[in-house]
Structure 1
Amino acid sequence: MTQLDDLRRAIRESDPQLSRFDPLPRIICLDDFDRGMCGWTQLVGNYEDTLDAMLPGYAQHSHAMLSTLPNWDFGSHGGVDGSYALKIATRARKGAQNVAIKRLTFRKAGPIRLEAYFTFKPEATELALSETDIRSFGFLYDLQIGDMSGPGDRVMPHLRFLNAQDGQHIQKWQFKRRTTPIKPIGSAGKTITHYHLAPSDWEDLPGGEQRLCYNEIPTKVNWHYLRFDFDLAAMQATRFQVNDRVFAMDGFDCIRIPAMKNLWCMLNLAFFAETDTDKRAFAYLDSVCLSGDF
């Protein structure tokens, strides 16, 4: 290691907020939701002239919120080291989804690393564990090459933890390489849309079975660590880790569609939740760190 590497490590390890992560040299954003929304917002679908043009998948989304993880038996749970987390809540309808997104661009096509502390629970509306009421928790990048890089692609890596399906406890990671048909919006020829989080076309990540900690009553939560490494130059995933498990990425691929004319150097990241019952699903993010090697 160089002297600069030693200095970076010393600075990181002296900061409790940062030392819980293993970032690459440049911190792009370090979002602790005790400080507010930190740029995370609702994933709104494309429209033109009327909101009715929005695809139904997007129309169901609502804004994420700050939460102390309140409950009816011991008050508020709080985050890992503070009072607030970012809460992504679905509607109370089986199969409903919700998404929180952060919209950025990149300055160089190099390695990036997403790290987060997350947890999920259904709304505690009954005195039962309800471990199969959450269908899935997941995350994605939405990426596009720079305008001088040739025709290229828009690349969308997706991963979800399929917790349950129709009441069956499944507990495995899945990915997507196909999206729904791309549709034009309006008459100006400027806007198109597709719903990439449709329930179809999810594939099992090889070796992706994992049992996550899910505490014994409906209001307790435990925080999980997540890391996803991606190379923007090659547009390929390089590492995926959740808690103590590092998954092989040989069988993983991304949604790849032709680059769009107004999305150059796009670097969006999003997290989502989906319910398997007519009960709201809650996904929580305590903190998110995006870093790069550029």
Structure 2
Amino acid sequence: MTTSAPSSTADMMEAMRLAMLRADPALSRFDPLPRILSFDDFSRGHCGWSQLVGNYEDNLDVMLPGFAQHSSAMLSTLGHWDAGSHGGMDSSYALKIATKAKPGAQNVAIKRHTFRKRGPIRFEIFFTFKPEATELKLSETDVRSIGFLFDLQCGDRDGDGERVMPHLRFLNALDGKHLQKWQYKRETTSFTAIGREDKTVSHYHLAPEGWLDLPDGEQRLCYNEIPTKVNWSYMRFDFDLASMKATGLQCNDRNFDVSGFESIRIPAMKNLWCMLNFCLFAETDVAKRAFLYVDSICISGDF
């Protein structure tokens, strides 16, 4: 079998780019767009992922309760009691986002960027999730959900622009019932003024209300036979900054229809121009900590 040679300089450059990616064991697992904005391999540290802290002014007690429960993401060897450590997918460490041991508790990690051009962006991760292994049983319904969101805002010359927040979660279980489906959100909670200087407001956009099922979004993910085993899954989300619309979602071997997907849309805020933030979150369904582990992340674009 023969293959035709590249027909143009652009084709040759693309072929060279793909060859270089595939020769790199760390990047060849991903399918990035032409420009890589960041490659987060958590064997190198936190790579910019930090705690999502709620807005406050003068007093920390004015922070909304949803944000007040958050704590810092950790680097983890996926330690457990029966075999010591699982480790990351191909190194010793992964990023760990852990909730408190209270039903419905959430935790969120964030990575903050700005953008310089509106174009397609791609968010790819290898992840797994587990409850804390405190019982000698599978506990497959103890994690309520894991997910991610973008927090985006127009540039300062865009007139009546918007802040746009696509949210996606994998609802694993609710009140002990195994559901295993992807959901999205198009509405946030009401805004609360923070402080007395009219500079800061807050809204807890990860409140439990308002999640909608993604069409044909049911998916059974690999969840191994005892509470300390993990298997890594792949997820890719594509979004266009020009149209501010989702263009694709893949998890393992499944591609999902996002033609009806909608984001949270609110008026632009006065200090957040060209914002390009990414968040990861976990939520527990029982009085036991839920863990979202992320081995690596590639954020790329065509801009």
The bucket for the TM-score relative to the shorter chain is over 0.9
Measure how far apart 1:192 and its partner are: 0.6
Structure 2 unmatched runs, 5+: 1-9
Alpha-carbon distance in structure 2 between the residues aligned to 1:105 and 1:55: 25
Report the equivalent of 1:69: 78
User: SS of the residue aligned with 1:147?
Assistant: coil
Name 2:143's counterpart in structure 1.
134
* Whole-angstrom CA distance in 2 between matches of 1:144 and 1:227: 21
Q: Match for 1:212: what amino acid?
A: L
Residue type of the partner of 1:77? H
Corresponding residue to 2:123 among 108, 114, 120: 114
Find out whether 1:220 has 2:229 as its counterpart: yes
Contact 2:247 2:259 in 1 (8 A): no
Mapped partners of 1:233, 1:201: distance in 2: 26
Partner of 2:282: 273
TM-score by length of 1: 0.99
**1:38-79, CA deviations, whole angstroms, 9 ceiling, x for partnerless residues?**
000000000000001100000000000000000111111011
Cα-Cα RMSD: 0.6
Aligned to 1:182: 191
Q: What amino acid does structure 2 have at the position aligned with 1:123?
A: E
CA distance in 2, matches of 1:265, 1:284: 29
Partner in structure 1 of residue 264 of structure 2:
255
Match of 1:15 among 24, 27, 34: 24
Paired position in structure 2 for 1:161 = 170
CA offsets 1:147-200 (integer angstroms, 9 cap, x no match): 112211100000000000000000000000000001111111110100000000
Structure 1, residues 212-261: CA drift from partner, whole Å, max 9, x if none? Answer: 00000000000000000000000000000000000001221000000001
* Rg larger for: 2
> In structure 2, how many angstroms separate the alpha carbons of the residues matched to 1:28 and 1:267?
11
| CA-CA distance at 1:37 after TM superposition | 0.4
* Percent of aligned positions that are identical: 71
The equivalent position to 2:247 in structure 1, one of 238, 242, 250, is 238
Q: How does 1:19-98 map to 2 (within 5 A)?
A: 19-98=28-107
- After superposing on structure 2, the runs of 4+ consecutive aligned residues of structure 1 that deviate more than 3 Å are none
Secondary structure at the counterpart of residue 12 of structure 1:
helix
Aligned equivalent of 1:144, options 148, 153, 156: 153
Return the letter of the residue paired with 1:89: A
User: Offset at 1:2?
Assistant: 1.3
User: Alignment partner for residue 206 of structure 1, among 193, 199, 215?
Assistant: 215
Query: What residue ranges of structure 1 are gaps of 5+ in the alignment?
Result: none
Q: Which amino acid aligns with 1:263?
A: L
2-structure distance, mates of 1:117, 1:186: 40
